Amino acid sequence: MPFELFIALRYLLARRKQTFISLISLISTLGVAVGVMALIIALALMTGLQGELRDRILGSAAHVYVWKTGGIEDYQAEVKAMRAVPRVIGAAPAILGKALVSTEGGDAFITFKGVDPLLEPDVTDIQRTMVQGRVRDLIPRGAEDVPGLLIGRGLATQLRVEVGDTVTLTTPQGTLSPMGMIPRVRRARVAGIYALGLYEFDSAYGFITLDFAKRLMGKSTVDLIQLKVDDIYAAPAVADGIPDRLGANYVAQDWSDMNRQLFSALWLEKMAISITIGLIVAVAALNIIASLILLVMEKSRDIAILKTMGTSSARIMRIFMMQGLIIGAIGTTIGAAGGLALCYVLDRYRVIQIPMDVYQVSYVPFVVEPFDFVVVVVAALAICFLATLYPSRQAARLDPVQALRFE
């Protein structure tokens, strides 16, 4: 065992007169552990929340939206052309509109989305999240069949309807008559119920066929084409390349641009929480400084004797630096292990439940990113190391003659 490490361990395991110093060292160790643990849990919370919101948004919506000047008349040809774009693995048309859904159980305003039932599962997770029915059930079974409508579980509960029930859709796009503009009123059957996991989609969205959407809106063209790419982080590059590849009359927007404000706010919140909780580690570092200063004062006679025996000032300095680093390393190890364990338990058993209508998710997920974990551990050790510099230098500068004069 190195000489410096041996002396540092002996000083840490103080006896009799040095019990108070050992207590301060223990408090410093616990302070570092609590700070590291709190920081890991906070970062895991914000990372998990960001990832959960991102996954649910991307499961409910497409990665890239493409519009064409003058509208899209032949969407089959456009879908074929866009599927040829590199990194695009799915394409589907869509028409968006607003409507009032009326039933005997109540009324609700919704955003309806006209889709191709055969292509929509290629760009969203609607088929995977169906609780009752299938997306294909939107397709009319015959000429006399009522058009189908897919609604979210929250909206179905609000309207008190089930699969097979009939609802009434009223749109602001009306028909001109001698009495003025008359809103269009159409009947639809509930063909299925889904649960995408986002409150906004599950309580205020509906899916219908393209033909039904055209009749409701009085349109003959499709609004846009939705694209799904093989890597969500490649979506901005794909969106930027659409006009260059297909023509200047195409306009594209990716998911990150459409949700920029949400994820910017979450990132700022993550940084603010990290800085705030990181101050706990700084306070623990101050405790390390205090404990080392007290130890230097208490051990001034021992330091003087070591110097008279030929121990260099550099070795004296390393003794107290090692002592501070041991405190920081033990505290960081305990905090890191405790943080990982708590994050696993909190995420595995979904301990923290939150209102879904406020936060868009039903529980708080905890995800520890390896990069965040390494940064926290390295930062904690660096802070603890810096805290040892001043007391160690003071110990190395101690004059043996002055220290032993009154002994």
Split at pLDDT 50, 70, 90, the class of 406 is low
By three-state DSSP, how is residue 108 classified? Answer: strand
Mean pLDDT confidence for 218-235: 93
Tens of pLDDT, residues 305-354 = 888 888 888 999 998 899 889 989 999 999 999 999 999 999 998 888 87
Q: What is the residue whose two structure tokens read 């055969």?
A: 118
Give the model's pLDDT for residue 3: 79
- Rounded Cα–Cα distance for residues 405 and 244 (Å): 85
43-74 core/surface letters (b: 16 or more CB in 10 A; e: else): bbbbbbbbebbbebbbbbbbbbbbbbeeebee
Tens of pLDDT, residues 236-290 = 999 999 999 999 999 999 998 988 887 888 788 888 888 888 888 888 888 888 8
Higher pLDDT, 22 or 150: 150
* Inter-residue contact 292 to 323 (CB < 8 Å): yes
pTM for the full model? 0.79
Q: How many CA atoms does the CB half-sphere of 38 hold within 13 Å? A: 17
- Rounded Cα–Cα distance for residues 165 and 21 (Å): 75
Give the model's pLDDT for residue 214: 92
**Architecture per CATH, 88-229:** Beta Barrel (2.40)
Tens of pLDDT, residues 153-191 = 999 999 999 999 999 999 887 665 555 567 788 999 999
Task: Give the list of residues 6+ apart from residue 156 with CB closer than 8 angstroms, or none.
Answer: 162, 190, 193
Domain range annotation of the chain: 3-57+262-404, 88-229
